[in-house]
Amino acid sequence: MGFQLKTAHQLVLKMRKLARQFRNSEDDKFSLPTVDDARPMDINEQEELVRSLEKMQAHQSLQWKSVFAALLFCYSAFLLYSIYQQTLFPWELRYHAYFMEDVDSWIIITADWLAVLACSMAIMGLFNNSKDHIKWIWYSCSIGLVLAIFWVYYMLRYIRVSNFNSQI
């Protein structure tokens, strides 16, 4: 009986069986399980195993990309709502109202639009299968870094101004 696997499912079943054997072994709890295989895998079996593992990895990669893209899409929808609120009802949202005295409304709207653009570029980078997908991710990170510096600057400025006003 050789180590032949036809599908990724069989690989998982074989691994579970080995794990059960390892857990149920009473003779030595500190040794790794060994399988007495009389012959090594031939090239076709190795290639089949590698193909099945690559297929599983590609499927899991697509699933995680979809999860991150969904999170980015939800954040973009939230930002679009923030833009809508800031445009029609300026300074009604608390997280924008903190900066009312320091920043004009159009700057807040522009920053939110840039964040939507960064999220869109990140989504493009996740699902683009060409060589350029890394560029999309880097563009997104660059815009995000500029936005982070912008928001940190105004948050620190807000803290200094609020501390100064509380001392007066």
Share of residues in the chain with pLDDT > 70 (%)? 80
- What's this model's pTM, rounded to 2 decimal places? 0.69
Q: How far apart are CA 168 and CA 158, in angstroms?
A: 16
pLDDT at site 1: 43
Q: Which two tokens stand for residue 118?
A: 């960064």
CA-based radius of gyration for the chain: 27
Phi, psi of 27 (to 5 degrees): -70, -45
Residues 20-47 have a mean pLDDT of 69
Residue found under tokens 């493009």: 124
User: Can you read off the two tokens belonging to residue 155?
Assistant: 């948050």
